[in-house]
Amino acid sequence: MRSLTFVDKGQLEWRDAPDSKLQGDGEALVRPLAVATCDLDLLIVRGMVPFDEPFPVGHECVAEVTEVGDAVEGFAPGDIVSVPFQISCGECDRCRRGNTGNCERVERMAMYGLPMGTNYGGFLSDSARVPFADAMLVEVPEGIEPEAVASLSDNIPDAWRTVGPQLAERPGAPILICGGAASIALYATGVALALGAERVDFAGGSSYIRGVAEEIGATMLDEEFPKRLGPYPITVDASADPDGLRCALRSTDGDGICTSIGIYFEDVSVPLLEMYTKNIRFDTGRCHARPAMEPLLDLVRSGSFKPDQVTAETARFDDASEAMAGHRGKLVISR
């Protein structure tokens, strides 16, 4: 089969890869139908992330099930599913706690389409193997187009975890998002409003990102990150900018919650004394995608959350190499 492979900065090419095969009774094979680029993919193809070796790409997708093992109970060939980017068994203690990104039964950071742990192959391919099919796969309901929820594998849950649990604790709270050139900031805006946030204020970001955020329903604040805004009970750092991170932290109210999805490749200073004296809670790290996927599909099905508003570019599979090498925003590639 063919698999799209990152080779070097701005260079991707289709390469031959071994055909996907079932390796156990609880597994499934899927054929990707719609694949979205992650915000990290944009940095990778621009050479801004220190990945030197070639690797298969694509870790957000909606796919068609083509084959299942004898022990798979919940899925059959022809089903349309979303596949989380992290490999998880659904049964170990960590998975049962919702920490599916740290499953005890697989290698640390085992995932699709990224070389940060064991790479299970990319979704920009003819087929992919899903090792724990009943635990991992999520059925996409009829009426939801695969292209609309292609990012349900990663970026949409990554956005949800910045506002969903927080609004469950503090219903209706206003939210500050310090954005960047990231789709996650836009998804977080849409999810927060769908979950009933009083308002979403948006600071920073490119003119394009700010325009989309405003269309979704955010209130625009400063284009550059000031020292502080607010205060807000819930803040989000989706900037990957040290100034954006510090602004979000300083703008968090006493006993408030700040969540950062930014990946910082160098040490960053933060206002620890202010964080300490205000008793704020700061969450960072990789998202655990699988637990958020059904609640998010419910929001999409209700019409209150429209993830396709974030899609900036589209392409066909045959054009994926050129499209991914030159993309500038959220790209969805479909068959």
Contact 233, 199 (CB under 8 A): no
Same domain as 149, residue 293: yes
* Cα separation, 74 vs 287, whole angstroms: 25
Domain check: are 248 and 313 in the same one? no
Do 87 and 144 fall into the same domain? yes
As for how many domains the chain has, the answer is: 2
Domain that holds residue 209: 156-284
| Residue 86 DSSP code | B
Q: pLDDT tens per residue, the chain (335 residues)? A: 999 999 998 899 999 999 999 999 999 999 999 999 999 998 899 888 878 789 999 999 999 999 999 999 999 999 999 999 999 999 999 999 999 999 999 999 999 999 888 899 999 999 999 999 999 999 999 999 999 999 999 999 999 999 999 999 999 999 999 998 689 999 999 999 999 999 999 999 999 999 999 999 999 999 999 999 989 999 999 999 999 999 999 999 999 999 999 889 889 999 999 999 999 999 999 999 999 999 999 999 999 999 999 999 999 999 999 999 999 899 999 99
- Looking at 284, 303, 319, which one is the last position of a domain? 284
Question: Residues 307, 269: one domain?
Answer: no
CATH number at residue 219: 3.40.50.720
Largest Cα–Cα separation, the chain: 58
pTM for this structure?
A: 0.96
Residues 280 and 293 in one domain: no
Q: Strand, helix or coil at 333?
A: strand
Residues 277 and 303 occupy one common structural domain: no
- Tell which of 245, 261, 284 closes a domain: 284
Q: Are residues 179 and 72 in the same domain?
A: no
Residues 145 and 248 in one domain: no
Are residues 142 and 196 located together in one domain of the fold?
no
278 and 305 in one domain?
no
Domain with residue 295: its CATH number is: 3.90.180.10
* pLDDT tens readout for residues 219-250: 999 999 999 998 999 999 999 999 999 999 99
Cα angle value 319/51/329 (rounded, 5°): 45
Whole-angstrom CA distances from 21 to 74, 131, 173, 255 are 19, 10, 48, 50
Asked if residue 296 lies in contact with residue 160, where contact means CB atoms within 8 angstroms, the answer is: yes
274 and 321 assigned to the same domain = no
Q: Which of 246, 265, 284 is the last residue of a domain?
A: 284
Residues 223, 278: one domain?
Answer: yes
